[in-house]
Structure 1
């Protein structure tokens, strides 16, 4: 019997479709995916292929029509939204193309927020946030608000926020899509470094083949299905 606890994240026969009257729009058509602990997986594919829908489903932000997601061996089918939210907060991290930082808060307090939501002592939460910000090279920028940071720095704050609760897996949706080439390359290197140092699994949706090449595994999403080939246009 396979020990499912060795996987950070699993998708089992994930199907997602929407119905509008007599019309049915199939988005995911039976996705199976096992992401090992500490593994970095890149998913590439054309716009509209279902990449973001898959990421939202893996992140428990959206429920599949059928199939199931397991997070660190925990089955999530049939859980309440409160239970799903708790798993998201404790086991998953998220990084998006747009950083979604709170503009009125400093980098430090933005990163501490997931721990504060968890009702951790505020002083301890800020101490942990400061440590993670140092890991991503922002030790000197902790008091700055997002408007005082460059695009690359804001993305590093977003990455620190994703990591601060020590998740088993970080889900990243086009994390360099809003950055210039040089800044994106620096972000690539940081993602790989963090992946190794924290032993955190990453699932990265990207249009950028350079980022995909850094991953341990590259998968292509095409017409709602995942394939290991890499010869489709992205």
Structure 2
């Protein structure tokens, strides 16, 4: 048994590559339900995923690549990227160290191998496949392996899981794991329901940095009562 973890998956997901993967693999019939085509859907993805703005040290910055932590599209982008590539990686993997069992949830993967020596061979193989993605691994100790919020025990080929007691209750559970599958178009397109909200947020920040900064500032304060970040931006003009 072994578990593989993608190091800093969200911030290493290549945005432009993943956007094209999502758009190219979408069925146009799913977009029709929302009155969209691939051209407009690509523009919406560009607005919501490619213009993540954050404040640090009293300055506003735009994240140029990688998925921002927190927005609802983050897990969908990360999963779409890995779903596409891991299918090819598994199909092309040499049989001599190919895992017997492969189950992933977001950036955590549970694997079974014929022999312990195959673990590092497969790890090196995965780490050679894409420049943006690097995996780390943890191997079983005393026939036990912690994975997500469970402890997996291998008792002569019979597996048992026990829930680990944590100070907090995670939302990710082992029951949600699944095999790599083709894109789930309906789930990706359903994100269109939240696009309007995010477009308004991003557009507001873009206007904030335009020549009409003062008017936008007054409107924003009047509607939200928030002025700290805006005033810092006006003062520093980073």
Tell me the TM-score normalized by structure 2.
0.29
Q: TM-score, normalised by structure 1?
A: 0.29
Bigger strand fraction: 1
